[in-house]
A and B are shown apart, each in its own frame.
Chain A
Amino acid sequence: MSGTHSQISYKSYWKVWGVLLVITGIMLLVEVSPFSRLIVAVLLMAAMMVKAVLIGAQFMHLRFEKPGLVLALAGTVLFFAAFLFILISFDALRILKMIQQ
Protein backbone atom coordinates (compact mmCIF):
# COMPACT_ATOMS: atom_id res chain seq x y z
CA MET A 1 0.00 0.00 0.00
CA SER A 2 3.00 2.31 0.39
CA GLY A 3 3.09 5.47 -1.70
CA THR A 4 5.40 7.32 -4.01
CA HIS A 5 6.28 10.37 -1.88
CA SER A 6 8.92 10.17 0.81
CA GLN A 7 7.21 9.49 4.15
CA ILE A 8 5.86 12.61 5.82
CA SER A 9 5.56 12.63 9.61
CA TYR A 10 2.13 12.90 11.27
CA LYS A 11 3.57 15.77 13.31
CA SER A 12 4.17 17.97 10.25
CA TYR A 13 0.48 17.70 9.27
CA TRP A 14 -0.65 18.67 12.77
CA LYS A 15 1.72 21.66 12.71
CA VAL A 16 -0.04 22.85 9.53
CA TRP A 17 -3.38 22.26 11.28
CA GLY A 18 -2.24 24.51 14.15
CA VAL A 19 -1.15 27.27 11.77
CA LEU A 20 -4.48 27.06 9.88
CA LEU A 21 -6.42 27.38 13.13
CA VAL A 22 -4.34 30.37 14.26
CA ILE A 23 -4.93 32.11 10.90
CA THR A 24 -8.68 31.39 11.15
CA GLY A 25 -8.72 32.89 14.66
CA ILE A 26 -6.89 35.97 13.41
CA MET A 27 -9.43 36.31 10.57
CA LEU A 28 -12.33 36.27 13.02
CA LEU A 29 -10.58 38.93 15.14
CA VAL A 30 -9.82 41.09 12.07
CA GLU A 31 -13.52 40.96 11.09
CA VAL A 32 -14.56 42.65 14.36
CA SER A 33 -11.54 45.00 14.48
CA PRO A 34 -11.98 48.80 14.23
CA PHE A 35 -9.93 48.97 10.98
CA SER A 36 -11.53 50.43 7.85
CA ARG A 37 -13.45 47.97 5.60
CA LEU A 38 -10.73 48.25 2.94
CA ILE A 39 -7.94 47.22 5.33
CA VAL A 40 -10.12 44.42 6.74
CA ALA A 41 -10.84 43.17 3.20
CA VAL A 42 -7.15 43.21 2.21
CA LEU A 43 -6.10 41.41 5.43
CA LEU A 44 -8.84 38.78 5.06
CA MET A 45 -7.99 38.12 1.41
CA ALA A 46 -4.28 37.78 2.27
CA ALA A 47 -5.07 35.35 5.12
CA MET A 48 -7.41 33.41 2.82
CA MET A 49 -4.67 33.00 0.20
CA VAL A 50 -2.12 31.87 2.83
CA LYS A 51 -4.60 29.23 4.05
CA ALA A 52 -5.32 28.06 0.49
CA VAL A 53 -1.59 27.75 -0.30
CA LEU A 54 -0.97 25.82 2.94
CA ILE A 55 -3.78 23.35 2.22
CA GLY A 56 -2.69 22.91 -1.41
CA ALA A 57 1.04 22.60 -0.74
CA GLN A 58 1.03 20.61 2.51
CA PHE A 59 -2.22 18.61 2.66
CA MET A 60 -2.67 18.07 -1.09
CA HIS A 61 1.09 17.41 -1.48
CA LEU A 62 1.53 19.92 -4.31
CA ARG A 63 4.96 20.81 -2.93
CA PHE A 64 6.10 17.30 -3.90
CA GLU A 65 4.70 17.43 -7.44
CA LYS A 66 6.49 18.54 -10.59
CA PRO A 67 6.34 22.36 -11.14
CA GLY A 68 4.63 21.76 -14.51
CA LEU A 69 1.70 20.03 -12.82
CA VAL A 70 1.39 22.73 -10.15
CA LEU A 71 1.41 25.43 -12.84
CA ALA A 72 -1.18 23.60 -14.95
CA LEU A 73 -3.53 23.16 -11.97
CA ALA A 74 -3.16 26.35 -9.95
CA GLY A 75 -2.44 28.52 -13.01
CA THR A 76 -5.66 27.45 -14.74
CA VAL A 77 -7.89 28.18 -11.76
CA LEU A 78 -6.13 31.43 -10.77
CA PHE A 79 -6.14 32.79 -14.33
CA PHE A 80 -9.86 32.17 -14.87
CA ALA A 81 -10.74 33.38 -11.37
CA ALA A 82 -8.85 36.66 -11.89
CA PHE A 83 -10.35 37.05 -15.37
CA LEU A 84 -13.92 36.49 -14.11
CA PHE A 85 -13.63 38.71 -11.05
CA ILE A 86 -12.04 41.59 -12.97
CA LEU A 87 -14.64 41.40 -15.75
CA ILE A 88 -17.64 41.28 -13.44
CA SER A 89 -16.35 44.10 -11.22
CA PHE A 90 -16.65 46.75 -13.94
CA ASP A 91 -20.12 45.62 -14.99
CA ALA A 92 -21.39 45.30 -11.41
CA LEU A 93 -20.18 48.81 -10.53
CA ARG A 94 -21.82 50.18 -13.71
CA ILE A 95 -25.15 48.61 -12.66
CA LEU A 96 -24.76 49.97 -9.12
CA LYS A 97 -24.24 53.47 -10.54
CA MET A 98 -27.36 53.09 -12.71
CA ILE A 99 -29.45 51.97 -9.71
CA GLN A 100 -28.20 54.84 -7.57
CA GLN A 101 -28.95 57.52 -10.20
Chain B
Amino acid sequence: MDQVNAAGMIASPPLEDGATPFAVSWQKLMMWAFIVSDALLFTGFLAGYGFVRLASPVWPDRAHVFDLHLIGLMTFILISSSATMASAVAAAQRSDRRMLVRFLSLTALGGLLFLGMQAYEWTSLIREGATLFSNPWEVPLFTACFFLITGFHGTHVLSGVVILAITAMRSARGRATFNGVEVAGLYWHFIDLVWVFIFTFFYLL
Protein backbone atom coordinates (compact mmCIF):
# COMPACT_ATOMS: atom_id res chain seq x y z
CA MET B 1 0.00 0.00 0.00
CA ASP B 2 1.31 3.51 -0.84
CA GLN B 3 2.56 5.61 2.04
CA VAL B 4 1.41 9.24 2.24
CA ASN B 5 3.73 11.88 3.72
CA ALA B 6 2.80 15.01 5.74
CA ALA B 7 2.20 17.05 2.55
CA GLY B 8 -0.30 14.47 1.40
CA MET B 9 1.96 13.19 -1.39
CA ILE B 10 2.56 9.54 -2.11
CA ALA B 11 6.05 8.56 -0.87
CA SER B 12 8.18 5.74 -2.23
CA PRO B 13 8.04 2.75 0.08
CA PRO B 14 11.26 2.06 2.03
CA LEU B 15 13.52 -0.70 0.74
CA GLU B 16 12.83 -4.11 2.17
CA ASP B 17 15.29 -5.49 4.72
CA GLY B 18 18.55 -6.36 3.00
CA ALA B 19 17.59 -4.73 -0.32
CA THR B 20 19.96 -2.12 -1.80
CA PRO B 21 19.39 0.61 -4.42
CA PHE B 22 19.86 -0.77 -7.95
CA ALA B 23 20.50 -4.18 -6.35
CA VAL B 24 24.24 -3.48 -5.87
CA SER B 25 26.24 -3.36 -2.65
CA TRP B 26 26.71 0.04 -1.00
CA GLN B 27 30.49 -0.24 -1.54
CA LYS B 28 29.97 -0.68 -5.28
CA LEU B 29 27.41 2.14 -5.46
CA MET B 30 29.78 4.50 -3.64
CA MET B 31 32.65 3.54 -5.97
CA TRP B 32 30.40 4.26 -8.95
CA ALA B 33 29.51 7.67 -7.45
CA PHE B 34 33.25 8.39 -7.06
CA ILE B 35 33.97 7.19 -10.62
CA VAL B 36 31.27 9.46 -12.08
CA SER B 37 32.63 12.51 -10.21
CA ASP B 38 36.20 11.64 -11.22
CA ALA B 39 35.09 11.10 -14.82
CA LEU B 40 33.54 14.58 -14.82
CA LEU B 41 36.86 15.99 -13.59
CA PHE B 42 38.70 14.33 -16.49
CA THR B 43 35.94 15.52 -18.83
CA GLY B 44 36.65 19.07 -17.65
CA PHE B 45 40.39 18.63 -18.27
CA LEU B 46 39.83 17.19 -21.75
CA ALA B 47 37.29 19.92 -22.58
CA GLY B 48 39.86 22.51 -21.47
CA TYR B 49 42.43 20.82 -23.69
CA GLY B 50 39.91 20.83 -26.56
CA PHE B 51 39.31 24.54 -26.05
CA VAL B 52 43.02 25.36 -26.13
CA ARG B 53 43.55 23.12 -29.14
CA LEU B 54 40.66 24.59 -31.15
CA ALA B 55 41.57 28.18 -30.32
CA SER B 56 45.27 27.74 -31.23
CA PRO B 57 46.24 28.64 -34.81
CA VAL B 58 49.20 26.23 -34.59
CA TRP B 59 49.71 23.00 -32.67
CA PRO B 60 52.84 20.78 -32.55
CA ASP B 61 52.85 17.64 -34.70
CA ARG B 62 52.38 14.83 -32.17
CA ALA B 63 54.17 12.31 -34.40
CA HIS B 64 57.35 14.40 -34.00
CA VAL B 65 56.96 15.16 -30.31
CA PHE B 66 55.85 11.76 -29.00
CA ASP B 67 57.22 8.28 -29.56
CA LEU B 68 54.02 6.55 -30.73
CA HIS B 69 55.65 3.10 -30.42
CA LEU B 70 56.16 3.75 -26.72
CA ILE B 71 52.61 5.07 -26.32
CA GLY B 72 51.28 1.99 -28.16
CA LEU B 73 53.23 -0.24 -25.76
CA MET B 74 51.92 1.71 -22.73
CA THR B 75 48.37 1.24 -24.05
CA PHE B 76 48.99 -2.49 -24.58
CA ILE B 77 50.22 -2.82 -20.98
CA LEU B 78 47.24 -0.94 -19.53
CA ILE B 79 44.69 -2.95 -21.55
CA SER B 80 46.45 -6.18 -20.51
CA SER B 81 46.38 -5.11 -16.86
CA SER B 82 42.64 -4.49 -17.19
CA ALA B 83 42.22 -8.06 -18.50
CA THR B 84 44.26 -9.48 -15.58
CA MET B 85 42.15 -7.37 -13.18
CA ALA B 86 38.92 -8.75 -14.68
CA SER B 87 40.42 -12.24 -14.27
CA ALA B 88 41.23 -11.42 -10.62
CA VAL B 89 37.55 -10.56 -10.05
CA ALA B 90 36.57 -13.85 -11.74
CA ALA B 91 39.02 -15.70 -9.43
CA ALA B 92 37.50 -13.94 -6.39
CA GLN B 93 34.07 -15.04 -7.59
CA ARG B 94 35.33 -18.64 -7.61
CA SER B 95 37.04 -18.17 -4.21
CA ASP B 96 40.30 -19.23 -5.91
CA ARG B 97 42.77 -17.42 -3.66
CA ARG B 98 45.93 -18.57 -5.47
CA MET B 99 44.75 -17.25 -8.86
CA LEU B 100 43.36 -14.10 -7.24
CA VAL B 101 46.72 -13.15 -5.71
CA ARG B 102 48.49 -14.02 -8.97
CA PHE B 103 46.19 -11.89 -11.15
CA LEU B 104 46.20 -8.97 -8.68
CA SER B 105 50.02 -9.02 -8.59
CA LEU B 106 50.19 -9.11 -12.40
CA THR B 107 47.81 -6.12 -12.57
CA ALA B 108 49.93 -4.14 -10.10
CA LEU B 109 53.05 -5.07 -12.11
CA GLY B 110 51.34 -3.74 -15.26
CA GLY B 111 50.61 -0.48 -13.44
CA LEU B 112 54.22 -0.16 -12.32
CA LEU B 113 55.48 -0.82 -15.88
CA PHE B 114 53.10 1.84 -17.20
CA LEU B 115 54.36 4.34 -14.61
CA GLY B 116 57.98 3.54 -15.49
CA MET B 117 57.29 4.20 -19.17
CA GLN B 118 55.46 7.42 -18.36
CA ALA B 119 58.45 8.56 -16.27
CA TYR B 120 60.70 7.78 -19.27
CA GLU B 121 58.38 9.74 -21.60
CA TRP B 122 58.27 12.74 -19.25
CA THR B 123 62.07 12.66 -18.79
CA SER B 124 62.63 12.60 -22.58
CA LEU B 125 60.37 15.64 -23.06
CA ILE B 126 61.89 17.55 -20.14
CA ARG B 127 65.40 16.89 -21.56
CA GLU B 128 64.21 18.41 -24.83
CA GLY B 129 63.35 21.57 -22.89
CA ALA B 130 59.66 21.06 -22.12
CA THR B 131 58.34 22.60 -18.91
CA LEU B 132 54.83 23.26 -17.60
CA PHE B 133 54.79 26.75 -19.12
CA SER B 134 57.19 26.59 -22.07
CA ASN B 135 58.52 24.18 -24.69
CA PRO B 136 60.69 24.13 -27.83
CA TRP B 137 57.58 23.77 -30.03
CA GLU B 138 56.53 27.32 -29.08
CA VAL B 139 52.98 26.48 -28.00
CA PRO B 140 53.28 26.80 -24.19
CA LEU B 141 49.77 25.48 -23.53
CA PHE B 142 50.68 22.22 -25.31
CA THR B 143 52.94 20.99 -22.49
CA ALA B 144 50.72 22.62 -19.82
CA CYS B 145 47.84 20.38 -21.00
CA PHE B 146 50.17 17.39 -21.48
CA PHE B 147 51.77 17.45 -18.03
CA LEU B 148 48.48 18.23 -16.27
CA ILE B 149 46.37 15.54 -17.94
CA THR B 150 48.92 12.71 -18.13
CA GLY B 151 50.19 13.64 -14.65
CA PHE B 152 46.71 13.47 -13.19
CA HIS B 153 46.13 10.12 -14.89
CA GLY B 154 49.54 8.85 -13.71
CA THR B 155 48.61 9.80 -10.12
CA HIS B 156 45.50 7.66 -10.50
CA VAL B 157 47.64 4.75 -11.75
CA LEU B 158 49.95 5.16 -8.74
CA SER B 159 47.06 5.15 -6.27
CA GLY B 160 45.58 2.18 -8.15
CA VAL B 161 48.84 0.24 -7.72
CA VAL B 162 48.77 0.97 -3.96
CA ILE B 163 45.13 -0.20 -3.73
CA LEU B 164 45.99 -3.37 -5.71
CA ALA B 165 49.02 -4.10 -3.52
CA ILE B 166 46.90 -3.78 -0.36
CA THR B 167 44.14 -5.94 -1.90
CA ALA B 168 46.71 -8.58 -2.97
CA MET B 169 48.20 -8.70 0.54
CA ARG B 170 44.75 -8.99 2.14
CA SER B 171 43.84 -11.71 -0.36
CA ALA B 172 47.03 -13.66 0.41
CA ARG B 173 46.06 -13.63 4.09
CA GLY B 174 42.50 -14.66 3.24
CA ARG B 175 41.07 -11.37 4.49
CA ALA B 176 39.83 -9.90 1.19
CA THR B 177 36.12 -9.92 0.35
CA PHE B 178 34.61 -10.26 -3.11
CA ASN B 179 33.17 -6.75 -2.75
CA GLY B 180 36.64 -5.36 -1.97
CA VAL B 181 38.20 -7.02 -5.03
CA GLU B 182 35.31 -5.98 -7.30
CA VAL B 183 35.46 -2.34 -6.15
CA ALA B 184 39.27 -2.24 -6.62
CA GLY B 185 38.65 -3.70 -10.08
CA LEU B 186 36.13 -0.98 -10.95
CA TYR B 187 38.71 1.68 -10.07
CA TRP B 188 41.40 0.00 -12.16
CA HIS B 189 39.13 -0.38 -15.20
CA PHE B 190 38.19 3.28 -14.84
CA ILE B 191 41.89 4.19 -15.10
CA ASP B 192 42.06 2.13 -18.31
CA LEU B 193 38.88 3.81 -19.59
CA VAL B 194 40.31 7.29 -19.03
CA TRP B 195 43.48 6.29 -20.89
CA VAL B 196 41.34 5.31 -23.92
CA PHE B 197 40.24 8.96 -24.15
CA ILE B 198 43.66 10.48 -23.39
CA PHE B 199 45.30 8.16 -25.94
CA THR B 200 42.84 9.26 -28.65
CA PHE B 201 42.55 12.96 -27.89
CA PHE B 202 46.15 13.67 -26.98
CA TYR B 203 48.29 11.29 -28.99
CA LEU B 204 46.26 10.46 -32.11
CA LEU B 205 43.92 13.31 -32.98
Contacts and interface: CB of A to CB of B under 8 A. Distances in A.
Interface of A: 1-5, 7-10, 13-14, 16-17, 20-21, 24, 27-28, 30-32, 40-41, 44-45, 47-48, 51-52, 55-56, 58-61, 65-66, 68-69, 72-73, 76-77, 80-81, 84-85, 88-89, 91-93, 95-96, 99-100
Interface stretch (B113-121, B140-148, B193-201): B193-201
Contact of A93 (B54, B79, B176, B182): B54
Which among B36, B47, B50, B181 has the greatest number of chain A C-beta atoms within 10 A?
Answer: B47
B62 to A, nearest CB: 9
B181 to A, nearest CB: 8
A31 B93 CA distance: 40
23 contacts: A2-B178, A7-B93, A8-B90, A24-B72, A32-B63, A48-B197, A52-B196, A56-B189, A56-B193, A59-B83, A59-B189, A60-B186, A61-B182, A73-B32, A73-B35, A76-B40, A77-B39, A81-B43, A84-B47, A85-B47, A95-B55, A96-B54, A100-B57
A39 B144 CA distance: 28
Nearest to A27: B204
B75 A24 contact: yes
A11 B70 CA distance: 28
User: Chain A interface mostly helix, strand, loop or mixed?
Assistant: helix
B23 interface: yes
Nearest to A99: B57
A77 B204 contact: no
Given A52-B193, A59-B192, A99-B55, A44 B178 contact: no
B196 to A, nearest CB: 5
A8 to B, nearest CB: 6
Contact of A55 (B39, B181, B196): B196
B22 A28 contact: no
Contacts of B68: 28, 31
